[in-house]
Structure formats: C-alpha cells, structure tokens
Structure 1
Amino acid sequence: MAATGVCLFPSRLPSVIRPEFTSSSSSSGKSKFNPISVPSRRLAAVSTDHTPTVLTTVNNQTGGSSGKEAHTTTTSAAAEKKRWSGQEDQEELDAEEEEQERLSLTDYFEQAKDFVTSNGGGVGPPRWFSPLHDGGSRLDNSPLLLFLPGIDGTGLGLIRHQHKLGKIFDVWCLHIPAKDRTSFTDLVKLVERTIRSEHHHSPTRPIYLVGESLGACLALSVAALNPDIDLVLILANPATSFGKSQLQPIIPVLQVIPDSLPISLPHILSSMTGVLVANLEKGLGLPLPETVEKLSHDLAASTTYLSVLADILPRETLLWKLQMIRSASPYANSRLHAVKAQTLILSSGKDQLLPSQEEGERLQRTLANCEIRMFENSGHFLFSEDDFDLVTVIKGTGFYRHSRHRDYVSDYIPPTRSEVKNVVDSNRWLSIATSPVMLSTLADGKIVRSLAGVPSEGPVLFVGYHMLLGFELAPMVTQMFVERNIHLRGIAHPMMFVKLREGRLPDISNYDTLRVMGAVPVSASNFYKLLSSKCHVLLYPGGVREALHRKGEEYKLFWPEQSEFVRMAARFGAKIVPFGAVGEDDIADLVLDYEDQMKIPFLKGFIEEITDEAAKVRVGHDGEVGNQDVHFPGIIPKVPGRFYYYFGKPIETQGRKQELRDREKAHQVYLEVKSEVEKCLAYLREKRENDPYRSIFSRLQYQATHGFSSQVEIPTFEL
C-alpha cells in the first residue's frame, strides 16, 4: 500500500404474493403457483412452456409503494451511508455480523424444508425470489445480483451470505422446483429475458450472475448470448468440467434402479459430508470442545434433514439434473469464445465431484476477461463452508462496481470489524515478533505513546518513509483502525491491481487484503477523490525505489523534486501528518540488493522481465526516483527486534489554498514535510537505543511475568 510502492439471514422465506398467477401446462401437469416477492422490484414470473409473462411491479400486497415504504427506503440508504462513514453504533454492527456468522447447514435445511413444503414450493415452473423480503439496508442504485443455483435448485445456496450481500446488492435467487422439468436451454432463455428486461430498466447498472456448478454453466451460456449487456460473472466450481466428473457413472445406474430404492440419498449425504469434513479441518485450531460441538451440530443437522434432501432431490429429479448438467457442459463450453463479461472463477482444491482446480485454470486461459481465486482446502459446496465469505472475496478482487467502470473511491466498501480482525489475525506473528510502539504528537507538541495525536476528522494526508518491502504497513494500518477507528486508504502501485501480461510477477490475488483495506492505484484522479471524500490517505512519495532500496540505504528518503501532493492537500484543506517508522534493520539483513542482482545475467533478465509486466509510474523522471525497476531483494531474517512509529505534529493547509498555488511556496511546505519525516526517523533511531525491551528475548521475559494477553503493553524508552 504505497504511492507507487510495493508493497445473509432471512427469518423466513418471503411471504407469498396474491392473487395467484396461473402457469401454462408443463410436464408435471397444470398448476398454479405463487411467485415469491421481489420487494419494490419488477418480478419475472415464467411458466414452464417458456411463454414470457408480463413483467409487473410488485409492492407488498397493495400493488403500490406507500409513502411509508418510500420513507423506509430513504432511511435505510441514509443509515447505510452513516454506517460506512463510521458513525453508526459499532455494537449494532458487531451483533449483525455475529448473527450472520451463526447461519449454517442447519439453517439451509430448515429454510429448504419450509420452501419445499410451502404452497408452490415443490411444483410449478422456475421463478425468482428475494431472500431478503424486508429489503435490508441497500445502497442507492445497488447492482442487481441474480443467483443461479447448483444441482439442488432451491436457490438457497447463498444463505450464509445473503444478508451481507443484501447490504450492497439487490439480490434475486432462482428457484427450480423439484418436480419441474424445464430444459437447460429454456432456463437460459428465462435468465436471458430477465437480464434483458433489467438492463432495459437500468442500462448503466451492471448485472451480477453468481452461479455454482450447474448455475455457472447457465451464467456462461447467458453471457455468451448477451455480450452487449454489462454482466459480471462469479462462478463457483463450474460444471463445465462435467465430462471428467465422478458423477457421470451414476446416470446409467439411476436409469435402471427401481424407484423404491432411494439411491440418491447416500451420494447426496456423502457430498454434504464433504462440507462437514472441510469445516472440521478448518476448525482444528479451535479448542477441542468447540470443535467437537461444531462437528456434532453439523452431523446432527445432516442426519435430521435426510427427508428434506429426499424432497429436494428424489431419484427422478437427481437423474434429470445430472442429465441436464451433461448437456449443459458442452453447451456452455462451445460458447466460451463469445463470453466477454468480467468473470471471477472460484475453484476448490478438494472438490470430490468435479476437477474444479484444473477447470478453473482452463477457464482463466480461455475466457477473455477472467480472474481466478483458489481455495485449496475447500470442497464442492464452497458457499456453504464456514470460513468462506463471498462479500469479502468480491471486495478483495475489486469486482464490486455500480457502473461499467469501477471507481476505486465511490465503489469502495469499507471493511467490517470481522474483516479487520482477520487481517489482524493473519499478521499476528509479525505483531508478536515486533511489538510495535506507536507514538504521536498532541496539538501542544507533547509526544504520547498512543495515536491520540492523529486527527480524527479528514481529510488527512499521512506522508512517510517506506520500509524495505513495506514491512511497516500491516501493524500501522490495523492499529490505526483498532485504536482510533481510522481507516487509512493507501495510494498503491498499479501492479497490485493489474498485470500488463501474464508472467512471473506475483499473482494479484496476493494483494486482495490490501484492496479489502482500501488501497487504490496511484493516480491524480484517485488522490483527488480520496481527499474530496475527506478520507485519511496514506502516501509514500519514495515509492518502489524507497521500498526496494539498496544496501546501506536504510531510512534514506528517495522523494521526487516536485511538490506532488502539497497543492492537492491545500485544495481541500487537508492536514498533512509526517511520520517515520524504523525497525526493518532489526528483523532482516539485506544481502542481495538490486545492484548485486543486475551483475548476475539470469537475475538481470528476470528483473527486466517482471518490470516489463508491471504498469509504469513516474515515466519521464530521471535519476533515482525514475529508477523503479521491480525486483525481489535477497534478505536473511534476524532475531526480531522491534518496530517503532512516530507521527509528527500535523501541518495545516486549511485556508492556504490560494497561497500554495504558488509553486515556490508549495515547494517550501514540501521540504518542510520531508524534513519532518527525517526528524521522526532520527528521533526513533536514537531513542530505540535506550529501549530495554528492544530485543524479543526481553519482551518474552516481560510477558512471562505479566501475562501474554494482547492487553499487556510492553514498556519502551522514556519519552
């Protein structure tokens, strides 16, 4: 995160809308069905003979939107904006997240049971429903998300995610009743009619198709037929690899076995057990009683709801679905060349039903605009696994947007408390090893050991020194969030967002966490938008050259001559906070730097190759600042010392907009900021020499005496 640097929950299913709609004849005979409500939206009701019905507006039972409903919608949008600006009560948000996290397989079975046994749940043609009939707290102009289910057809596959999805999407789910026999091509037509209608209704809004297994084939087929519509595909373990699936031999068995034998249930149960095993493996870090309790709970759920499984997928339905997948796979594969939609493939490494990892790699190579994320320890039913969060994945991959082109500022969704906790947990060992000391400067100039001196109200621009490989980032960004609820938005190198071509640079999935935490690619427009939005912005003028410095260049600034950021800060009256961070030399020795590697032919060629893959910044700059070749320094870890951070007194630009338009005056402020950063570094380097707990051994000894709780603050030098 550097400027040019490296570094769900429905209480019940929606109420049925009346009066009834009458479907045309189908393979299961004539039937009546009640479309499930899509609140304040246009409802697509489609019969099994695929004669399109009129798209009609549905608003509760009155057929119209009341003033009260309109007021509620406005209030929800305002509440959401308050939430994302950090103004809403955090306890309420935490409780909301905990409620979401309690959803499990049990909830899926209970919802499926209610759904299958309710009026119209097991018969009738496919239909759309909204899992959040109370509307949730959606943003204004939320993108539409259509969920296309896998082999179960219930449309409840996103049950663990739908509440969080409902905060940022208008969510519709496709339900295919167990007795329905709509063909795959007719399902394609159904979805196609829906997206064309919605595109006509909101032509500038993207439409998301989230499909798992069979649903992924459906999404790809629809996208191939509609390249003119802005679609975003998110596909979990696509069944386009069904030709290599272990499920194929089951088809002839199901065709000849007597109806009296429930042959489908053992296989389904074993498949669902794959979720249980995956969740158990991922929960091994929990205390044993919690692990046993969790496994027992999930096993009890699966055995209790065997009858629900039988209702969802009786033998004849399972046979129909497998035959459908067998035809859907080549149908979708033959049209991959026509898919232009932005696509994200989610592949499980332990999928026992499909070769999903291999298939994901094939699709990434085949599709024109495709990214992939691997989940090595996950099984086929990825959306049902405990530690998979679809919203976090969408945020991390940068796939959330309101229009055709993503705006890194207006489309950004701040991290939740649980997401920040995951980042903190993933960097726990770095924090333990380095025991960061955070210092800041109060308005009266007093230095305190806390972040109390950091301005709460934005815009604020943090400008500082970039450690080798950006080691300082994670402790600083997470501590700022945890202690002060301040969300730092970093200006980052474009290679963290896009690669010019496939090659040997690290995959951009390595930077998903940085994107979740708010990093944006370096550009004047992004910088402008962040400051105009009153954000806390993190800027490293030294960029790649500073973060990939040479031997003996520790704590040396490599800033450009121009005052790049001062006039922009003055335009919005931003406070500029200079800061320093030291300790990189206490955790590693740099043994093979850029100069060393350029003397070795194969390493020189490697550097040139990966630099060519990365987007260029500061083109035209000469000297050290312009030399931003990408390389990987050779380092040897040391017995870890300690990290120290010092945030200097903020420099005001409020009211100086006209004054700092003058380049010379702006340059003087620029030099002042640079000097303050150097003073922060010098202060820390001097004071750390007197820290009795600089060594990890002295800190471990202190913790052994006072406890290893994160609440125990290890002392440092006198201020």
Structure 2
Amino acid sequence: MAAIIATINFTPRNTTRTTTRKVKATLTSSSTTTNVSVNGKASLRKKETVVVDKNNKKALDYSEIQRLSVKDYLERSKELIKADGGPPRWFSPLECGAARLNNAPLFLYLPGLDGVGLGLILHHQRLGKMFDVWCLHIPVTDRTTFEDLVHLVERTVKTENTRSPNRPIYLVGESLGGCLALAVAARNPGIDLLLILANPATSFSKSQLQPLLPFLDTMSEHLYPGFPYILGFLTGDPFKMMMAAVEKGTPPEQAVGELSQNLVAILPSLSVLADILPRESIHWKLQMLKSAASFTNSRIHAVKAETLILASGGDQLLPSQNEAERLSKVLPSCQIRNFRDSGHTLLMEDGVDLVTVIKGAGFYRRTRKIDYVSDFVLPTPSEFKKVYDSSYRWVDLATSPVMLSTLEDGKIVRSLAGIPHQGPVLLIGYHMLMGLELGPLVWRFMVEKDILLRGMAHPIMFEKHLEERLFDSSSFDSYRLVGGVPVSASNFYRLLSTKAHVLLYPGGAREALHRKGEEYKLFWPLQSEFVRMAARFGAKLVPFGVVGEDDMFDIFFDYDDQLKVPYIKDRIEDINNGLVRRLRTEINGEVAEEDLYIPGLRPKLPGRIYFLFGKPIDTQVRREDLRDRDRANELYLHVKSEVERSIAYLKVRREKDPYRTLLSRVLYQATNGSTSEIPTFEF
C-alpha cells in the first residue's frame, strides 16, 4: 500500500471567521476516521540521471522516479473518496516529498470537475523536485459553493504569502480549478501569483456540457451508472492516457504489448468513475461550473498575475483553444501553449510533461523576479534528447559535423579533448547564418563532455509578448530549456561566478543575420566586451571558428532588398524600433546595426559543417595584467584573430575532404553502417 504525507486545512463552512488549523498526518491504509487509505502499485521507472555540469549546484537527481498512470489515479481515488463528506482540504502526495531545491515556490493544485486532487499524478515526482506541492481535495459529497472555495484558497494564499513574502505562489488549475485560480488572482492583485491554467472552464457558456444539465434531470436511475464512463472518454484521449504508462523508447512490438496489459489492468478500476461522479454530485458540479465561469469572467479584468495557459485542440467539452486566445487578450501577462491533439484532461495524457512546459516557457522562478542563472534547472536526458530530435537532429544528419579542438601543445585532434572541463570557460566564436551551428555544437558538448553550454542569447528569446506576436508561442522554448540566458553584463557575471561553460558571440544578431556576400565576416565591436570580466574570474578563453553555411543556403533576399519593399520595411521598423529591446545603444557603426529580420534563403544539397576550437587561453595567470584596458584590448584582438584564423584554416582544409558532399557521406554510411563516424581531411 502506498501512503501520502498530507498537510490538511480543516475549514468549517458557513463561518466568517478563519479557523484554519494545520495538521501534519500520514495518510495510510488504516481504517480509523483520521486516516485515508491510498492504494496503487507503481512500476519502477527506468533509472534516469541528470546529465550534470559538475560545477552546477542546481542539478536535480531524477533517478528512481516511478512511472505512475491512470490506473494509479483510479486506485488512489477509491481511497480518497471513501466516506468523506468534507470539508475540502489540502494534501501533499508522498511522491512530492523528496528533496527539492532551496526556497522552492509553493504550488497549489486546484482540481477540475472530479475534485479528487490527483489530476497531476503523472507529474508528482518531477514537480516535487522544484515545488512545494499542495493539492486541493474536494470530497464527493461536499457542497461547498464556488465562492466559499475561492475564500478557502484565498486564505491559504494570504497565510503562506505572510509566512514567505518573497516566495511566489503558483496556482495551477484545471477546468473548474482554472476559474478558481483566476478568481483568487483577481481578488489578490498585490500578491505574487503565477497562474497555470489547463483548459479553464471560463468558456462554460459555449461548452458541450451545457445541454447535460436538463438531460441529467430527466435521466432515469438505471441509465445513469453508464454516464460517468461516457464523460470520462469525452474528457481525454484513452489511447494517450494508456500510453502514458509505457516506457519511452520502448520498441513498437513491446509497446503494443504493454498497452494491451495496461488496458486489461485498468478495466476493473473504471467502476470508480461512478463513485467519483455520482448523479447528485455531478449535477451540483455542473451547476457550480456555470456559476464559476460567470463569477470569474465578471472579475477577470482585475487579474494582474503572470499566466500560462495550456490549451487542448481536441477538447470535446470546452472550446479551449479559442478561449485561450480570448483570455490572452484580456490578461496583461499571458502565454499560451497549444496541445493540438490532446483532450480535456491533457495532464493525464502521454506526451505532456508539465515540468518541461514550465521550464521551456521560462515560467519557473523562486523569487519576485526570474533569475535565468540561479533559477535554471538542468534538463534531463529525455528533455535534452527531445529538443535535439525536434530542432537540431536534421542539421546533424544532413551535415555530419566535424569537431576539431586544439590541445595545450598545439596539436589538433578530432574530438573536444582540447576543451577544459573545469570552468569557468568562455567559448567565443563566429555566428553562422541563422545560428545553424548551435544545435550540433550544444549536442556534442553534452554527449562527449557531459557539459551543458550556457549560451548568451538575444533578449527577443525571452520577451514573451513579442514571441507571441511574431512567432509561434513556443518558438524559443528549446533555447530556454537547454540553458539560454539573455545577454547582459549581470547575467554574464553570474554565469562566470558559477564556473559555467559560457557560449558567447560578440557579432550577435548582425553576424547571424548578415547580408549577401558577408559569409564568415566578423562583426565585433572595436572595444573589448568580455576580456576583463573573464579575467576577473580567471576564465579560460577558447576561440573557435565554424564554416559550412555556404554549403547549405544562398541568401537571395537580404535586409537591403527587404528595405526596398514598403510593406516589409514598415514591418521591420515596427519590430526593431517599437518592440525589440535594442542592444549596444552606446556604440555606432556596422556592429550596432542589429535590426532583426528573416532573410530569404535558397537551400542547397547540404555540405558539411566544420568546427575548430583553438588553444585555450588562461586569463588566471594574467589576472592583474588584464585589469589594464589596453592589455585587455590586446587580448580581445588576439582572440578575434584566432577566430578568423580558424575560419581560414577550415575553408582551405575542407577542400581536401573526400566526404564534403551529401552523396559521398550517404554512400560511406551505407557501406560502413549508419552509426559509423565519417572520415574527413587530414590535419
């Protein structure tokens, strides 16, 4: 039998005075009135350890994580709903009780129509590493009104805010819980709240549930027992719910077998649906949904909290994606993440990882303002691989990158052996067209060196309102997930102080979005921007060059061409003068012209990408010397010349590569195996 450790708030109804008392209890399978039995065997998930930068103290241990499923939800629900008439209370699942990050924010889960409070059961273990998780349980026979639920949550929010005023509080609501979260936020604009709303029921007036109210009134007693089953299938995709229990990466034949076993195992537990949603309760809750939507919509203009909306495209109960768009126009700070193939209960389905969504959206912080260095949580191997597969794998497969590095004695080797493992290390290089080198670069460092590069990125990747306007709402999630940091002096300082491996492109957007005929031209400021700061921490500098973009694309419609088209010119000016926070405003010249635009590209049969990392430069031995601006500038110019030398070397040597063309590489791997390393030029 599993157990959960719970923090329970007993709040008497029909009283204007708060008489909340907190009781720490272990809820086990005992039959006494103060305990609740919680059943559910969980298969042990395959061990997954975080790939850890040895100097990063914010790494989390994800080994021994259990894989829970819909079956666990149903079995544990049986125990939570036994002979319990209320009042609503908070509990903290045992899976969330593991060691977590210091000063972890409070995470209040507000359930949907079922009221059980186990809607995040697939996510408990990972959430518990980053949050102090409390779940609200609304007993089946409880008849607390929506307004009283608002007061209950509000009291908890105020109490915890008083106790830890600098710690944010997350309100995470599904369906009805989404209304509850918005209503509490509207009444408490001065408290630091972050809202995560999964298919909020604020659109109930347009819901498929509306016709059910008169239908339930006329439904006969012998027909009703089948109704919760129908509702259960409407709320989510059964196939995806079953797949959530299948280990990722399982061969197709084995996956089919596990899926069949899961289906057989869950069938006996489905009867609990009728107990979770008996006739009297479901009628009460549908009426509550109606009043909740009305109550919340009348106050939504007062919400000031940051909001992340998760919207399902396959929601059969609510028009969730349309509602998300409506809410985003009303709420002052709102992001949307769309799940086009998911049903109403998307957090119970396979392929949706709430922790990954939160991290990718840049929605995790432990103080009043997000710190992209100290609040960053390293990606798990599965997260990193998912980013690689979705965004970078095609570049790797098409270009077969060649990674060369330089050892201390000046010898060039085909590996990253020349890269210092002990940080701080600053990698300074050339930014290829559209940053196409980033994927292979970050991936190889992780695979070969167990090092996650922290890239200094343009602020546009963190300006969420701009992302929503210009791109798909999740366009930059992968950058944030794998450790991108907005470029600034303070963030640069923090990264070096944590002994990180920092990736820096002095040429910035001007270099990555260059014009015709500017391939491999460096656009660096005249003065040193990084040397003195690096020397302050004794960082090692590794200049590097990369070539290959001219083997992949031709620019046929560049910035200068686009400015000749009035509509496009106005669009570019609107973006860069009114929306994007400009960098390097204190300097003039070509390097300051960092207008963002998307060049018109003509693809070619992909050639090959080549990297050369130069000999590391130790600033520790010159720490005092480099305090002098002139000496620092000399080193800066030396680093720049080393980058240019690496580019020149690669441009010449690649001509001798017998496998520079795509066809030659395909033939080589067809003969020697798809995983074999493809040779390159001699060095």
Cα distance between partner residues in 2 of 1:348 and 1:370: 16
Residue in 2 that maps onto 1:540: 505
Within the candidate set 200, 209, 226, 1:247 is matched to 209
The answer to whether structure 1 residue 351 and structure 2 residue 315 are counterparts is yes
Residues 84, 434 of structure 1: alpha-carbon distance in 2 compared, 3 angstrom cutoff: closer
Residue in 2 that maps onto 1:25: none
Residue in 2 that maps onto 1:217: 179
Deviations 1:558-597 (Å, cap 9, x if unpaired)? 0000100000000100001101111111111111111122
> Is 1:84–1:414's contact at 8 Å kept on the other side of the alignment?
yes
Residues 185, 320 of structure 1: alpha-carbon distance in 2 compared, 3 angstrom cutoff: same
> Is 1:618–1:626's contact at 8 Å kept on the other side of the alignment?
yes
Cα distance between partner residues in 1 of 2:60 and 2:677: 29
The answer to whether structure 1 residue 322 and structure 2 residue 282 are counterparts is no
Cα distance between partner residues in 1 of 2:21 and 2:80: 24
- Any idea what SS the aligned residue of 1:361 has? helix
Aligned 1:599-618 pairs, distance under 5 A: 599-612=564-577, 613-618=579-584
Cα distance between partner residues in 2 of 1:584 and 1:504: 29
Residues 105, 465 of structure 1: alpha-carbon distance in 2 compared, 3 angstrom cutoff: same
| CA drift at 1:280 | 6.6
Within the candidate set 207, 220, 229, 2:191 is matched to 229
Output the TM-score relative to the length of structure 1: 0.87
Residue in 1 that maps onto 2:403: 438
Residue in 1 that maps onto 2:43: none
Residue in 1 that maps onto 2:297: 333
Residue in 2 that maps onto 1:276: 239
| CA drift at 1:509 | 2.2
Within the candidate set 172, 183, 187, 2:134 is matched to 172
Cα distance between partner residues in 2 of 1:60 and 1:212: 26
Look up the equivalent residue of 1:246 and give its one-letter code: Q
Unaligned 5+ runs, structure 2: 28-48
> Is 2:399–2:609's contact at 8 Å kept on the other side of the alignment?
yes
Within the candidate set 81, 85, 94, 1:123 is matched to 85
Within the candidate set 105, 110, 123, 1:148 is matched to 110
Cα distance between partner residues in 1 of 2:605 and 2:511: 24
| CA drift at 1:93 | 4.8
Task: Give the aligned CA root-mean-square deviation in angstroms.
Answer: 2.6
> Is 1:495–1:614's contact at 8 Å kept on the other side of the alignment?
yes
Give % identity.
Answer: 58
Cα distance between partner residues in 2 of 1:649 and 1:502: 38
Residues 568, 285 of structure 1: alpha-carbon distance in 2 compared, 3 angstrom cutoff: closer
Cα distance between partner residues in 1 of 2:543 and 2:208: 60
The answer to whether structure 1 residue 454 and structure 2 residue 419 are counterparts is yes
> Is 1:467–1:584's contact at 8 Å kept on the other side of the alignment?
yes
Cα distance between partner residues in 1 of 2:597 and 2:484: 21
Residues 134, 603 of structure 1: alpha-carbon distance in 2 compared, 3 angstrom cutoff: closer
| CA drift at 1:295 | 4.1
Deviations 1:396-430 (Å, cap 9, x if unpaired)? 11111111111111111111111111122122222
Within the candidate set 612, 622, 630, 1:664 is matched to 630
- Any idea what SS the aligned residue of 1:510 has? coil
| CA drift at 1:94 | 6.2
Output the TM-score relative to the length of structure 2: 0.91
| CA drift at 1:606 | 2.2
Within the candidate set 607, 623, 641, 1:675 is matched to 641
Aligned 1:85-124 pairs, distance under 5 A: 85-86=53-54, 93=61, 95-96=63-64, 99-100=65-66, 102-117=67-82, 122-124=84-86
Deviations 1:41-73 (Å, cap 9, x if unpaired)? xx4222344563343463869xxxxxxxxxxxx
> Is 2:116–2:138's contact at 8 Å kept on the other side of the alignment?
yes
Aligned 1:412-427 pairs, distance under 5 A: 412-426=376-390, 427=392
Aligned 1:537-616 pairs, distance under 5 A: 537-612=502-577, 613-616=579-582
Look up the equivalent residue of 2:184 and give its one-letter code: V
Within the candidate set 253, 257, 265, 1:289 is matched to 253
Within the candidate set 198, 210, 223, 2:160 is matched to 198
The answer to whether structure 1 residue 713 and structure 2 residue 638 are counterparts is no
Residues 406, 382 of structure 1: alpha-carbon distance in 2 compared, 3 angstrom cutoff: same
Cα distance between partner residues in 2 of 1:532 and 1:136: 28
Q: How many residues align?
A: 657
Cα distance between partner residues in 2 of 1:508 and 1:414: 22
Cα distance between partner residues in 2 of 1:673 and 1:573: 16
Look up the equivalent residue of 2:228 and give its one-letter code: L
> Is 2:199–2:320's contact at 8 Å kept on the other side of the alignment?
yes
Within the candidate set 663, 666, 676, 1:700 is matched to 666
Deviations 1:507-558 (Å, cap 9, x if unpaired)? 4520011001111111111111111111111100001110011111111100
Cα distance between partner residues in 1 of 2:448 and 2:21: 51
Within the candidate set 622, 626, 640, 2:588 is matched to 622
Cα distance between partner residues in 1 of 2:134 and 2:597: 46
Cα distance between partner residues in 1 of 2:454 and 2:249: 32
The answer to whether structure 1 residue 138 and structure 2 residue 100 are counterparts is yes
Residue in 2 that maps onto 1:386: 350
Unaligned 5+ runs, structure 1: 1-10, 16-36, 62-80
Residue in 2 that maps onto 1:76: none
Residues 83, 466 of structure 1: alpha-carbon distance in 2 compared, 3 angstrom cutoff: closer
> Is 1:500–1:615's contact at 8 Å kept on the other side of the alignment?
no
> Is 1:699–1:714's contact at 8 Å kept on the other side of the alignment?
yes
- Any idea what SS the aligned residue of 2:311 has? strand
Deviations 1:343-381 (Å, cap 9, x if unpaired)? 111111111111000000000000111111111121111
Deviations 1:294-333 (Å, cap 9, x if unpaired)? 5424533553222111111112111111111011001111
Look up the equivalent residue of 1:146 and give its one-letter code: L
- Any idea what SS the aligned residue of 2:337 has? strand
Residues 60, 544 of structure 1: alpha-carbon distance in 2 compared, 3 angstrom cutoff: same
| CA drift at 1:341 | 0.7
